[in-house]
């Protein structure tokens, strides 16, 4: 897991930006883990146009984002992509970068990216494989 600490620079005090209009993709393992908590896939996930399975947004934020506490309801079981965020894989450049939409991205150093990149790359490969072979969980 990334040593990055969300919001430790104070840039997301009002709302967690990564939880707003999320497009976080889900693997079969993510769906199995979340479903074991008692959530129904049709409530928290949707199939995207590109055959990926994504977290569903409700009222403009992630299904699991608690607007009262400003916390993730399933933090300990959150999707793998959420665990590595804001480190993402830039498919065209074929390298890991920090997401330009994250206000705290400047707090992530190259060493953190280097340590996590192989996991992020493996996640992307799994997602592409599942979508390509019609094995997406949605």
Q: Both tokens of residue 84? A: 């590595």
Task: Give per-residue pLDDT as tens, 40-52.
Answer: 999 999 999 888 9
Task: Give per-residue pLDDT as tens, 64-115.
Answer: 999 888 888 999 999 999 999 989 999 899 999 999 888 888 888 899 999 9
Q: So what's the pLDDT on residue 13?
A: 60
CA distance 91 to 75: 27
The model's pTM: 0.87
Q: So what's the pLDDT on residue 14?
A: 61
Distance of CA 39 to the CA centre of its chain: 17
CA distances to 27, 39, 44, 58, 90 from 31, rounded to whole Å, are 6, 9, 9, 18, 24
The residue extents of the domains of the chain are 17-132
Decide if 56 contacts 44 (C-beta within 8 A): yes
Residue 136 has pLDDT above 50, yes or no: yes
């Amino acid at each position: 897991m990334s040593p990055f600490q969300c919001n430790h620079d104070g840039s997301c005090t009002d709302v967690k930006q990564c939880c707003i209009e999320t497009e976080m993709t889900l693997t079969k393992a993510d769906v199995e883990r979340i479903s074991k908590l008692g959530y129904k896939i049709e409530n928290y996930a949707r199939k995207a146009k590109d055959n990926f399975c994504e977290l569903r947004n409700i009222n403009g934020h992630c299904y699991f984002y608690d607007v009262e506490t400003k916390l993730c309801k399933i933090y300990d079981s959150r999707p793998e992509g959420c665990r590595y965020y804001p480190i993402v894989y830039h498919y065209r450049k074929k390298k890991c970068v920090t997401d330009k939409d994250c206000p705290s991205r400047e707090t992530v150093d190259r060493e953190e990216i280097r340590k996590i990149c192989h996991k992020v790359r493996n996640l992307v490969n799994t997602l592409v494989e599942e979508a390509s072979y019609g094995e997406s969980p949605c």
